[in-house]
């Protein structure tokens, strides 16, 4: 089985192969696929990798200056106490953490991301970043590219964070990464050269839900045939891919494998509190990829998966 070798036979694999075949009739310029990142292309639990990056930076800052730890948002994070974090509120914490990087040039920020990416390990699995990626999804991306698809990533996380590593991890260049955007200011150095610096302000809001669709339109300009995600924040993008005029596929990664990864119900709060996201998927015609059932391997070789 040379195509999608880590996908087990069954209705999900059949749906993927059927979609790939149908897409052969679509003009190359319209062969577009977008993937959510956290929980879709790589492991998002117990914490988002970008959150770990922020916390790592916070520890560096506190080592330099103990008083940094006194800021209530940072105190909650450093305590690692979900109740305190919930009390302060994640949005407020996110803004405070983004503030740590305000004033950096894009090059300095990229350098910090890459430094972190090279040394971080999953706290439970022990995997490095490359082995936190899902092998079946990497195979799907490769197969799409063989069929002349343009492959992009549409993440709820920071665009700049992912762009620093997307080429290396996924072969996706920065311009094909859409995410939550940080505003930059253009100033001039003493010598008169233009210089960009990060602020702590967002351009627009978080790249979640309907914003994923409108940001694809404004930043990428092409509608996907295939969209893949794993949570309520991806629902509009998945529906949009399915509703196009040509062949479409909406792929939902279901985290139901407590042995090889984790078993958890992706939050579906913005959809319907009483309905699981897999029930939503069935109702809306999304294709569900069960990690437990559909994936022969979860992570790339080199680690037990």
Which CB sits closer to its own copies, 63 or 196?
196
Residues 12 to 71: which contact its own copies by CB under 8 A?
Answer: 29
Instruction: Give min distance, CB of 223 to its own copies, in A.
Output: 7
Omega of the bond prior to 125 within 30 degrees of 0, cis?
A: no
Tell whether residue 111 is a contact of its own copies (CB under 8 A): no
Judged by beta carbon, residue 49 or residue 220, the one nearer its own copies is 220
Phi and psi at 168, nearest 5°, equal -65, -45
Sign of CA dihedral 280, 286, 289, 290: positive
**Pick from 120, 219, 276, 293: which binds its own copies (CB under 8 A)?**
219
How far the first Cα of the chain sits from its last, in Å, is 20
Q: Which is nearer to its own copies, 129 or 135 (CB)?
A: 129
Give yes or no for residue 86 binding its own copies (CB under 8 A). Answer: no
DSSP secondary structure string for all residues of 215-284: HIIIII----SEEEESSGGGHHHHHHHHTSSS--EEEEEE-B-TTTS-B-PPP-TTT-TTS-HHHHHHHH
Q: Applying CB under 8 A, which of residues 1, 14, 86, 203 lies at the interface with its own copies?
A: 203
Contact stretch for its own copies (CB under 8 A) within 13-21, 233-241, 255-263, 297-305: 233-241
51: nearest Cα among 93, 15, 9? 93
User: Which residue, 18 or 244, has its beta carbon nearer to its own copies?
Assistant: 244
b/e sequence 240-261, b meaning 16+ C-beta within 10 Å: bbbebeebbbbbbbbbbbeeeb
- Identify which range of 2-10, 53-61, 88-96, 175-183 contacts its own copies by CB under 8 A: 175-183
Minimum CB distance to its own copies, residue 284 (Å): 9
Q: Cβ(183)–Cβ(128) under 8 Å? A: no
Q: How many CB atoms lie within 10 A of CB 28?
A: 11
Q: Is 183 in the site for its own copies (CB under 8 A)?
A: yes
The answer to whether the beta carbons of residues 285 and 242 sit under 8 Å apart is yes
- For its own copies, which stretch binds (CB under 8 A), given 78-86, 112-120, 215-223, 273-281? 215-223
Contact residues for its own copies, defined by CB under 8 A: 29, 106-107, 150, 152, 159-160, 163, 167, 173-177, 181-186, 193-196, 203-204, 210, 213-214, 217-223, 236, 239-240, 243, 245
């Amino acid at each position: 089985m040379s195509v999608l070798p880590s996908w087990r036979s069954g209705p999900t694999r059949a749906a993927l192969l059927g979609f790939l075949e149908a897409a052969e009739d679509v003009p190359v310029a319209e062969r577009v696929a977008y993937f959510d990142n956290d929980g879709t292309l790589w492991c998002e639990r117990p914490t988002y990798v970008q959150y770990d990056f922020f916390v790592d930076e916070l520890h560096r800052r506190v080592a330099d200056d103990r008083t940094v730890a006194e800021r209530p948002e940072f105190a909650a994070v450093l305590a690692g106490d979900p109740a305190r974090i919930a009390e302060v509120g994640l949005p407020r914490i996110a803004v405070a953490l983004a503030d740590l990087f305000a004033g950096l040039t894009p090059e300095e920020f990229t350098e910090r991301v890459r430094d972190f990416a090279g040394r971080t390990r999953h706290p439970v699995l022990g995997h490095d970043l490359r082995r936190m990626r899902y092998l079946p999804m990497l195979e799907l991306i490769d197969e799409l590219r063989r069929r002349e698809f343009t492959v992009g990533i549409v993440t709820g996380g920071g665009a700049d964070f992912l762009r620093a590593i997307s080429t290396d991890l996924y072969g996706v260049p920065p311009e094909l990464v859409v995410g939550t955007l940080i505003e930059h200011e253009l100033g001039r150095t003493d010598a008169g050269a233009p210089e960009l610096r990060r602020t702590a302000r967002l351009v627009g809001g978080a790249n979640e839900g309907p914003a994923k669709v409108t940001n694809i339109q404004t930043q990428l300009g092409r509608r996907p045939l295939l969209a893949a995600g794993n949570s309520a924040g991806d629902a509009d993008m998945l529906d949009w891919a399915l509703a196009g005029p040509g062949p479409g596929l909406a792929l939902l990664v279901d985290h139901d494998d407590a042995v090889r990864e984790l078993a958890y119900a992706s939050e579906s709060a913005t959809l319907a509190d009483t309905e699981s996201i897999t029930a939503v998927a069935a109702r809306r015609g999304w294709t569900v990829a069960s990690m437990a059932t559909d994936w022969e391997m979860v992570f790339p070789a080199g680690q037990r998966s």
